[in-house]
Structure 1
Amino acid sequence: MKVVCSQSELNAALQLVSRAVATRPTHPVLANVLLTADAGTDRLSLTGFDLNLGIQTSLAASVETSGAITLPARLLGEIVSRLASDSPLTLTTEESGEQVQLNSLSGSYQMRGMPADDYPDLPMVESGLTLKLQASGLVQALKGTLFASSGDEAKQLLTGVHLSFTDTNLEAAATDGHRLAVLQVNDALQAAAEGTEGEGAAFAVTLPARSLREVERLVAGWRSEDPISLFCDRGQVVFLAADQMVTSRTLEGTYPNYRQLIPDGFSRTLTMDRRALVGALERIAVLADQHNNVVKFSSQPESGVVLISADAQDVGSGSESLAAELSGDAIQIAFNVRYMLDGLKAMAGDRVVLHCNAPTTPAVLRPVEDGDGFIYLVMPVQIRS
């Protein structure tokens, strides 16, 4: 193999695929990235794969001789990132195929690799379901839900985001047991799902949050109007955008019926300016973080304000008052301040409404402008009086 490419492009590609390289590999080759040079297309392809998440990208290169090799991801990444960005890089493998010479304008480096044949194949979806997704709709769905997934590996299904497709609409949902984010994106698909049965047929899949964060990162930088292709078959999903690909296993099991958690109606509503509420919560969080992260909302219908307070025992206390449109009786209800801030920052719009019934029952936060599209349910914290 002999290939000449740009330092900046190779560096960007390495940073992307290294995110799928195993930190504690079960086999030495999984700590490597696979480099494949193709003289027919004049492209260099890079792959990282930890058996759960796979990322593949390619870049334009001048390929004298085709070939493939795997190289230590961390070592190669650190060397390439420190080379001058205006220097072309030449990668050459010896006859044995396991030693690589990397030449730049400033110097040369040798690295031992492992044969490409030892590298596991990325899952390819030959049949099954094919979807064409609008990039903007997919990013919107992921931004609005990923933060609410669980980080606890014991709750395996809850470490993912549940994506369901009906006709051309996408609904994403994530919960960690304490909060739930649901976002509906209309016309996120170019056409109804191919491979589902009948009119209005639905398809649903739960994918690990870690994989979807990579998909979001990939798609957020997507400048094209072309759709993202999603292929799903036998426990594997592949996202394809131009010359970049993310593969992921699915999370098996039945995702909780989250719709039944959302109360049918509410007796109290608190409508506030979203940015003012975020600002007040961030200031109060300085105290709340000292103790138990709890902030208390006290509605005062007679004066049209909501009092937001925190009491950090032995440290101090603080309160902020916020103008609000209130309906229903006065209420005192407490929340984890971090959960509230996460939800508010995931929303768009200037005004939000907090729906609640009682201090111990689920509350729902929604943007006023798009009340049906985004639902954020939060369990209150019980206050000991």
Structure 2
Amino acid sequence: MPLPTVQDTATPTTLFPVSPAEPSSSPTTTPTPLHCRVPRDTLVPLLALLHSVAETRSAVPILTHLSLEAQASGTLELRATDLEIGLRCRCPATVTTPGACTVEARRFSDIVRALPAGDLHLSTSRTDHAGLVLTLRCEKSRVRLLSLEPSEFPLLQAPPGEMATFPLPVATLRAMIARTVFCVPPDPSRSHLHGVFCEPYASDSVRLVASDGHRLAVVDRAVPGRPASLPSVLLPAKGMVEARKLLESTSEEIATMALSSTLATLTVGDTMLTLRLGESAFPDYRAAMPAPGPHQLSVGRADLLAALRRLLILTTERERGVTLTIRPDTLALSVATNALGEGTEEMPIAYHGDPLTIGFNARYLLDFVSALDPATQVILALRDASTPALLWTEDDSGYRYVLMPMRID
């Protein structure tokens, strides 16, 4: 009996078999230019700050990236910039080989957050087909991300010796920003108002001012050691938002500010925020600050805050007005909208003048009250129902808020 014929080809294992590829040699790589190790939990809060500075979309790809540099001193330095703001963070790292790379900010931040707690190993390699590549390893996870050339990453740096520098408490600066930045208009085309104005005040104080044309916030704080030659500058809106995030995230007690005519820096611990200053001139805000009117009332911040929050629920973007009816010992707040309905809140006050009714934008009033310390008395000074009101608190005469009234039918 003849033996069965042996087939020349093996039985296919797929419906569409593919011919085996010709063997090829591995791409030539150069020695790894960066290799370091850093705890994942150390990077996460830093990346939260850096990610919000980097561009999400840009015609210049490098602006969507972070710069990473492992330094021989045992430090990992990370940077982000949109050319108007720059943020530099540093953290301790175990550096085997110093080097630098860039990595897409959003992807890198998302990946690091998703990795388990533990040491994150970072290394770079260069391949013929992909260029510079960053490899992340954490426990059993391994990710490779493409890098742009680190030499392309732009830096915002001030000329040495040309900045007026002064320290101030983190809590002080954080409160000053919180009490002004909400007045900055969202429209960047209003460049003369799109920021927080900073200027020297008296002999040893710093003043921050912000306005959108309908309201004005002014806060003064004593800063011992403030340079006499401190310039008056308009700090950009986005930069002040990032400064507030930085100050809220730190456990440091002292920050250092430095100002020149073109740049400002804020340094907190190992983190430095750099702001490029615009050329627009802030308007003469002093002309808009009224003298305290003869009708003055005092109301508890907690009562006013709770009432405004409830009433704001009944307002819309088109109908934000709240009516204040002021009578001896009583304040009534009311809102009425065509789309939602109406509501009224009453609370005790200290007031002994003639009855008065005035309308304000409820959101603008709530923004001011929300920025105040919890246990305080709010002072509202009025001249009449058609002129700006002046607000401050009993325990802080260095913070004043001017609010235009609005007509409410």
TM-score of the two chains, using structure 1 as the length reference: 0.91
Moved >3 Å (runs of 4+): none
1:141 aligns with 2:172: no
1:271 aligns with 2:304: no
1:224 aligns with 2:252: yes
Q: Using a 3 Å threshold, how does the CA distance of structure 1 residues 327 and 206 change in structure 2: closer, same or farther? A: farther
Task: List aligned pairs for 1:13-28, cutoff 5 A.
Answer: 13-28=46-61
Gaps of 5+ in 1: 197-201
CA contact (8 A) 1:160 1:251 kept: no
Q: Tell me the distance in 1 between the aligned counterparts of 2:292 and 2:334.
A: 27
Q: Tell me the distance in 2 between the aligned counterparts of 1:264 and 1:337.
A: 23
| Structure-1 residue corresponding to 2:386 | 360
| Structure-2 residue corresponding to 1:129 | 163
| Structure-1 residue corresponding to 2:140 | 106
Q: Tell me the distance in 1 between the aligned counterparts of 2:250 and 2:47.
A: 18
Task: List aligned pairs for 1:75-86, cutoff 5 A.
Answer: 75-85=107-117
Aligned length: 370
The RMSD of aligned alpha carbons is 1.8
| Structure-1 residue corresponding to 2:7 | none
CA contact (8 A) 1:125 1:237 kept: no
CA contact (8 A) 2:231 2:259 kept: no
CA contact (8 A) 1:144 1:181 kept: yes
Q: Tell me the distance in 2 between the aligned counterparts of 1:32 and 1:234.
A: 28
Q: Tell me the distance in 2 between the aligned counterparts of 1:266 and 1:382.
A: 19
What is the CA deviation profile of residues 128-161 of structure 1, one whole-angstrom value per residue up to 9, with x for unaligned ones?
2222231222112111111111111121121200
Cα offset, 1:246, TM superposition:
0.4
* Letter in structure 1 aligned against 2:376: D
1:180 aligns with 2:216: yes
TM-score of the two chains, using structure 2 as the length reference: 0.86
| Structure-2 residue corresponding to 1:287 | 314
Paired residue for 1:165, among 187, 191, 200?
200
Gaps of 5+ in 2: 1-33
1:88 aligns with 2:114: no
Q: Tell me the distance in 2 between the aligned counterparts of 1:129 and 1:111.
A: 38
Task: List aligned pairs for 1:234-383, cutoff 5 A.
Answer: 234-289=261-316, 292-301=319-328, 304-313=329-338, 315-348=340-373, 349-370=375-396, 372-383=397-408
CA contact (8 A) 2:86 2:155 kept: no
Cα offset, 1:95, TM superposition:
4.1
Q: Tell me the distance in 2 between the aligned counterparts of 1:353 and 1:126.
A: 45
Cα offset, 1:176, TM superposition:
0.6
- Flag the structure with larger Rg: 2
Identity value in percent? 27
Cα offset, 1:115, TM superposition:
0.8
What is the CA deviation profile of residues 16-70 of structure 1, one whole-angstrom value per residue up to 9, with x for unaligned ones?
211110122131111110000112x111110001101111101111111111111
What is the CA deviation profile of residues 232-269 of structure 1, one whole-angstrom value per residue up to 9, with x for unaligned ones?
33411121222111011113222111122121241211
* Letter in structure 1 aligned against 2:215: R
Q: Tell me the distance in 1 between the aligned counterparts of 2:106 and 2:249.
A: 24
Task: Tell me which moved more, 53-62 or 319-328.
Answer: 319-328
Q: Tell me the distance in 2 between the aligned counterparts of 1:193 and 1:222.
A: 25
What is the CA deviation profile of residues 333-361 of structure 1, one whole-angstrom value per residue up to 9, with x for unaligned ones?
00111101100111224211111111111
Q: Using a 3 Å threshold, how does the CA distance of structure 1 residues 19 and 61 change in structure 2: closer, same or farther? A: same
Q: Tell me the distance in 2 between the aligned counterparts of 1:265 and 1:244.
A: 42
Q: Tell me the distance in 2 between the aligned counterparts of 1:234 and 1:259.
A: 22
| Structure-2 residue corresponding to 1:199 | none
1:156 aligns with 2:191: yes
| Structure-1 residue corresponding to 2:103 | 71
| Structure-1 residue corresponding to 2:10 | none
Q: Tell me the distance in 1 between the aligned counterparts of 2:51 and 2:147.
A: 16
* Letter in structure 1 aligned against 2:346: S
* Letter in structure 2 aligned against 1:362: P
Q: Tell me the distance in 1 between the aligned counterparts of 2:111 and 2:119.
A: 14
Cα offset, 1:327, TM superposition:
3.9
Q: Tell me the distance in 2 between the aligned counterparts of 1:316 and 1:120.
A: 54
Q: Tell me the distance in 1 between the aligned counterparts of 2:331 and 2:383.
A: 16
